[in-house]
Chains A and B, each alone.
Chain A
Amino acid sequence: MTDNYEVRDVIDKETLSTVKSVGDAYKYGFSTDIETEYAPLGLNEDIVKLISKKNNEPKWMLDWRLKAFNRWKKLKQPDWALLKIPEIDFQDQYYYARPANMKEKPKSLDEVDPKLLETYSKLGIPLTEQKKLAGVIEENPEDKSENRKVAVDAVFDSVSVGTTFKEELKSVGVIFCSISEAIKEYPDLVKKYLGSVVPISDNFFACLNAAVFSDGSFVYIPKGVRCPMELSTYFRINAENTGQFERTLIIADDNSYVSYLEGCTAPQRDESQLHAAVVELVILDQAEIKYSTVQNWFPGDENGVGGIYNFVTKRADCRGKNSKVMWTQVETGSAITWKYPSCVLKGDNSSGEFYSIAITNNMQQADTGTKMIHLGKNTNSRIVSKGISAGKAQNTYRGLVQIGGRSQNSRNFTQCDSLLIGNKCGAHTVPYIEVNNSTARAEHEATTSKVDEDQLFYCMQRGIGEEDAVALIVNGFCKEVLQALPMEFAMEAQKLVAISLEGSVG
């Protein structure tokens, strides 16, 4: 026997005990009482200028934003997704909020408001360099990940409050900082790559983001460097009635590698809140990026009041030969999820993978999937999607596989499984497959099943309580995707699977 499953074993055990210990279904629902400075309500050119000014941006950046804003005014909100989206009044939102004492950006973590640090530690994200990211098993002393480091960029409402391990990363040439800082410090890199993967007017929400994004993370991995630690960004919405628009740009130069994690939470509020992010990944020759997300925005209550509206554009551009990207997402939060992390496989022999778990419970709605655009020769893509619906939730997988005329010998494999808990929820699969090259091949498999009564009875006859049994079975259903996550996130994700399904049985 290898140690492999023993480790997983511990994870599952922890999952189950966590389910028990968590009384409140959404444990990140607290808010931080901190003085917040807002931009005036609504959106117009002055707001865009204000955001740019708050970030002390150069003129080229402001021009870029204004161009986006003018395009956005002419765009219409897309309505093709299988989502019932309440009308969003874009003038009845705040587009910028920051803790008042962040006016002068802290030079180091020591200068950050203790209240903010406390918020992050309550969320399990220590903003210190001694500790690891939350979730690493304390009970398991043999765990090898004990010594692993994770660098964190923490984004609170509209601003980045701090980034850990910056100096250590800099010593190997890795740049990891907030995007507002990158615009000032590394303008050449930003100018070259910003908007090169997701163009300004790509879609309504991406265009809005381009106009008003306030902060986010920036990563550059130089040629030949394997990033010595996991990088992560942790997004927290705190302010009321405020949209969060962050922008992430990651560049992996030739022969480099980085694994990047993204986590999100928000307080429990009755008002819905808008989140429209853009993530751009640029992957050059022989380089590889692994991007993992655990999205746990507030999902709204069981009657569908409140929750985050999550409209996200994520795209990876595999420009280089033999470049690789792997998206892994665990989507458990948000009232509405509209999200399709995509791979543009331009470089010959490049490959893209998409592993997804989307869980919807109560009144949640998710329309999520991916796009695999094969342009280069011998490109490969793999899609594994696991959708779980409970309560009255609706869960749609929407995926496009497109193989271009010049993309010789390219391959796609798609597996798309849906699991239903109860009989008031829905699961839908909407695949689009466009193959324009006779040497290419695309395979699609889809299944829909219910949590099986016999499986539940079997587990319970062996002594496992009903909610634990559901968590066990669902985690089994998601296994392939959970295994694609880095260790720390796999544990977090398993717990989340259990927590987000609480109350779905019995």
Chain B
Amino acid sequence: MLNIDDLKVSLEEEEKQIIKGLSLSIKPGEVHAVMGPNGSGKSTLSSVLAGKDGYIIDSGTVNFDGSDLLDAEVEERAALGIFMAFQYPIEIPGVGNMNFLRTALNSQRKTRGQEELNAADFLKLVRGIAKDLEISDEMMKRPVNVGASGGEKKRNEILQMCLLEPRFVILDETDSGLDVDAMKLVSKGVNNFSSSSRSFLVITHYQRLLNYIVPDFVHIMVDGRIVKTGDKTLALHVEETGYKDFLQLGKGKH
């Protein structure tokens, strides 16, 4: 489904390479976890996959379902089924949640040549999802993420995911800032949503999340590269000993 091959990415503003030769292959239905120290480039990787401005692709390719992903516009990638739950969800004052969600959903449907959803069906759909995630009506009436707590914002990201039904989901530290109950709720949301045709890239600092969302693979990212890949026990190892065993691996490749 997603093939990243020897990707190198620098910042546009300053001459600084962040992703330094990263390869990763994800098949339909797989859950991949990425762990790594602060500043190792995890969010940069997410942003590059989603198509954010401000980066230069120095070399390498990203292939999604057989086509060149890096060629597509941000909103085209979204319509192809790529969704990124933001580490820091953005506030949009004055734009109601419902309006935002409906505009997004119908834009995607339009891009895919599907008919727009009418108001009644849309409302039913959103209300159902909001209920499962225990997001109140009052929250839904607010402007997008404005005045929401950190945890509420993360839940809102999951709501958007469930509504837009993407095929490839990046969760960038969605667990950070969630209380225990909220984490269970969010994990349940993700697990209910997962299927044999959907894949996940789960970025996290905490092994705990991976007890709920169980990964097929765990990757350790250091200084812009994946330095180690293993199964879910690798996360336990990190939890116990930190990244010191891996830092050397990162440096060795310079």
| Residues in chain A within 8 A of chain B (CB atoms) | 1, 5-6, 8-10, 12-13, 16, 452-455, 457-466, 468, 472-473, 475-480
Tell me the minimal C-beta distance from A141 to chain B in angstroms: 11
User: B89, B95, B164: which contacts A473 (Cβ < 8 A)?
Assistant: B95
20 residue pairs bridging A and B, Cβ less than 8 Å apart: A5-B98, A8-B96, A13-B102, A13-B106, A16-B103, A452-B90, A455-B91, A458-B89, A461-B74, A461-B84, A462-B104, A462-B164, A463-B105, A464-B75, A465-B75, A475-B94, A476-B94, A476-B95, A479-B95, A480-B94
Contact of A459 with B104 in the complex, beta carbons under 8 Å? yes
Contact of B92 with A463 in the complex, beta carbons under 8 Å? no
Residue among B93, B127, B137 with max Cβ neighbours from chain A (10 Å): B93
User: A9, A452, A454: which contacts B119 (Cβ < 8 A)?
Assistant: A9
The SS class assigned to the B binding surface is: helix
Query: CA separation between A462 and B100, bound complex, in Å?
Result: 9
Contact of A466 with B75 in the complex, beta carbons under 8 Å? yes
Using A9-B99, A459-B92, A472-B100 as known contacts, list a sample of 15 further A-B pairs with CB atoms less than 8 Å apart, ordered by residue number in A.
A1-B127, A6-B119, A9-B96, A9-B119, A12-B99, A12-B103, A455-B92, A458-B86, A461-B77, A462-B100, A462-B160, A463-B79, A464-B104, A476-B92, A479-B95
Contact of A6 with B98 in the complex, beta carbons under 8 Å? yes
Tell me the minimal C-beta distance from B79 to chain A in angstroms: 5
Contact of A465 with B94 in the complex, beta carbons under 8 Å? no
With contacts A463-B108, A464-B75, A465-B107 taken as known, whether A1 is within 8 angstroms of B137 at the C-beta atoms is: yes
> Interface code B90-131, partner A: CB below 8 Å = 1, 0 otherwise?
111111101110111111100100001001000100010000
Query: CA separation between A452 and B102, bound complex, in Å?
Result: 21
Contact of B96 with A473 in the complex, beta carbons under 8 Å? no
For B164, what are the chain A residues with a Cβ–Cβ distance below 8 Å? Answer: 462-463
Contact of B53 with A453 in the complex, beta carbons under 8 Å? yes
Contact of A1 with B140 in the complex, beta carbons under 8 Å? yes
Is B143 among interface residues, defined by CB-CB distance under 8 A? yes
Shortest Cβ distance from B97 into A: residue: A5
Contact of A5 with B90 in the complex, beta carbons under 8 Å? no
Is B228 among interface residues, defined by CB-CB distance under 8 A? no
Query: CA separation between A455 and B91, bound complex, in Å?
Result: 7
Bin chain B's interface residue count: 35 or more
Query: CA separation between A5 and B126, bound complex, in Å?
Result: 14
Is B220 among interface residues, defined by CB-CB distance under 8 A? no
For B208, what are the chain A residues with a Cβ–Cβ distance below 8 Å? Answer: none
Tell me the minimal C-beta distance from B153 to chain A in angstroms: 11
Contact of B94 with A10 in the complex, beta carbons under 8 Å? no
Across the A-B interface, the 8 shortest Cβ-Cβ residue pairs: A476-B94, A476-B95, A463-B108, A479-B94, A463-B78, A462-B104, A460-B74, A458-B90
Tell me the minimal C-beta distance from B223 to chain A in angstroms: 25
Is B237 among interface residues, defined by CB-CB distance under 8 A? no
Query: CA separation between A459 and B102, bound complex, in Å?
Result: 12
Tell me the minimal C-beta distance from A69 to chain B in angstroms: 47
Query: CA separation between A453 and B53, bound complex, in Å?
Result: 9
User: A5, A16, A466, A468: which contacts B96 (Cβ < 8 A)?
Assistant: A5
Contact of B92 with A461 in the complex, beta carbons under 8 Å? no
Tell me the minimal C-beta distance from A307 to chain B in angstroms: 29
> Interface code B127-155, partner A: CB below 8 Å = 1, 0 otherwise?
10000000001001101000000000000
Residue among B75, B127, B140, B164 with max Cβ neighbours from chain A (10 Å): B75
Query: CA separation between A460 and B51, bound complex, in Å?
Result: 9
For B89, what are the chain A residues with a Cβ–Cβ distance below 8 Å? Answer: 458
Contact of A472 with B137 in the complex, beta carbons under 8 Å? no
Query: CA separation between A454 and B106, bound complex, in Å?
Result: 21
Query: CA separation between A98 and B140, bound complex, in Å?
Result: 53
Tell me the minimal C-beta distance from B199 to chain A in angstroms: 17
With contacts A10-B119, A13-B103 taken as known, whether A461 is within 8 angstroms of B50 at the C-beta atoms is: yes
Query: CA separation between A12 and B94, bound complex, in Å?
Result: 12
Shortest Cβ distance from B170 into A: residue: A461
Query: CA separation between A123 and B103, bound complex, in Å?
Result: 27
Tell me the minimal C-beta distance from B210 to chain A in angstroms: 25
For A13, what are the chain B residues with a Cβ–Cβ distance below 8 Å? Answer: 102-103, 106, 116
For B96, what are the chain A residues with a Cβ–Cβ distance below 8 Å? Answer: 5, 8-9
Query: CA separation between A476 and B146, bound complex, in Å?
Result: 12
Chain B residues 72-88 with CB under 8 Å of chain A are 73-75, 77-79, 83-84, 86
For A459, what are the chain B residues with a Cβ–Cβ distance below 8 Å? Answer: 92, 100, 104
Contact of A476 with B53 in the complex, beta carbons under 8 Å? no
Tell me the minimal C-beta distance from A217 to chain B in angstroms: 33
For A475, what are the chain B residues with a Cβ–Cβ distance below 8 Å? Answer: 94-95
User: A8, A462, A480: which contacts B99 (Cβ < 8 A)?
Assistant: A8
Shortest Cβ distance from B79 into A: residue: A463
Shortest Cβ distance from A452 into B: residue: B90
Contact of B75 with A463 in the complex, beta carbons under 8 Å? yes
Contact of A460 with B78 in the complex, beta carbons under 8 Å? yes
Contact of B95 with A472 in the complex, beta carbons under 8 Å? yes
For A479, what are the chain B residues with a Cβ–Cβ distance below 8 Å? Answer: 93-95
Query: CA separation between A341 and B98, bound complex, in Å?
Result: 35
> Interface code B61-79, partner A: CB below 8 Å = 1, 0 otherwise?
0000000000001110111
Chain B residues 36-60 with CB under 8 Å of chain A are 50-53
User: B74, B83, B160: which contacts A457 (Cβ < 8 A)?
Assistant: B74
Tell me the minimal C-beta distance from B142 to chain A in angstroms: 10
Contact of A6 with B53 in the complex, beta carbons under 8 Å? no
With contacts A6-B119, A477-B94 taken as known, whether A463 is within 8 angstroms of B99 at the C-beta atoms is: no
Contact of A1 with B95 in the complex, beta carbons under 8 Å? no
Contact of B92 with A5 in the complex, beta carbons under 8 Å? no
Shortest Cβ distance from B112 into A: residue: A463
Contact of A5 with B94 in the complex, beta carbons under 8 Å? no
Shortest Cβ distance from B118 into A: residue: A139
For B99, what are the chain A residues with a Cβ–Cβ distance below 8 Å? Answer: 5, 8-9, 12, 472
